[in-house]
Amino acid sequence: MYLSIDIQDMAQPIVSDTKKVSFIVRFLYFIKNKMVTKYNNHLTTFNLALEGALNRIDALNLEKSTSLLSEMKGIITSLENVEVDLAKANYLDSDDVKQNIKYSLECLYKLESKLHKNVYKSAPIIETEDDLKEGFSKMKAASLDKLLSC
**Domain boundaries along the sequence of the chain:** 37-120
Radius of gyration of the chain (CA): 30
- One DSSP character per residue, 77-125 reads HHHHHHHHHHHHTGGGG-HHHHHHHHHHHHHHHHHHHHHHHHHHTTSPP
d(CA 55, CA 51): 7
> Do 107 and 75 meet the contact criterion of CB atoms below 8 Å apart?
no
pTM of the model: 0.71
Question: Looking at residue 1, what is its pLDDT?
Answer: 47
pLDDT in tens, 38-50: 999 999 999 999 9
